[in-house]
Amino acid sequence: MKMIKKVYNTVFAPSTSIDLAIIELEKSRKAFLEAKTHTEFYAAQVEFESIRIKRLEEYVNVIVEAGELANNPLRQPITPTVISPVEKVSVTNSTVAKKVAVAKKVVHSVAKKRVK
């Protein structure tokens, strides 16, 4: 009978502070890895969108410079105003870099909030 009681107490004994700390540490590590994954994903998404914006703006600039919008009625812009060849949409690398930096700060702040 004493043997059964000893086994029962060993199996169903309350956790020690070290066991609880180890469990909490593992939960914290998992949360950290998940937040880091989200951070990397959103940073890559921001980089993808900035490259996409740059590519599309260059495409629009080439069309505007060639006067293709003004000459071809099928390629008129969706908005009622016609872009004249004089107006150019230009984004410098520094502007894109600033937008990416701001977006990374937002992503990091969101990730920090999720970790807490």
Q: What is the pLDDT along the chain (116 residues), one digit of tens a residue?
A: 888 888 888 778 888 899 999 999 999 999 999 999 999 999 999 999 999 999 999 988 887 777 665 566 555 555 555 555 544 445 566 666 666 676 666 656 655 665 54
| Contact indicator for 111, 35 with CB cutoff of 8 Å | yes
Predicted local confidence at residue 87, as pLDDT: 47
Locate all alpha helices (DSSP H) within 1-116, ordered by sequence. 2-11, 17-66, 68-71, 93-115
Predicted local confidence at residue 69, as pLDDT: 56
| CA–CA distances in Å: residue 51 to residues 63, 100, 104 | 19, 10, 15
Predicted local confidence at residue 74, as pLDDT: 57
**pTM for this one?**
0.43
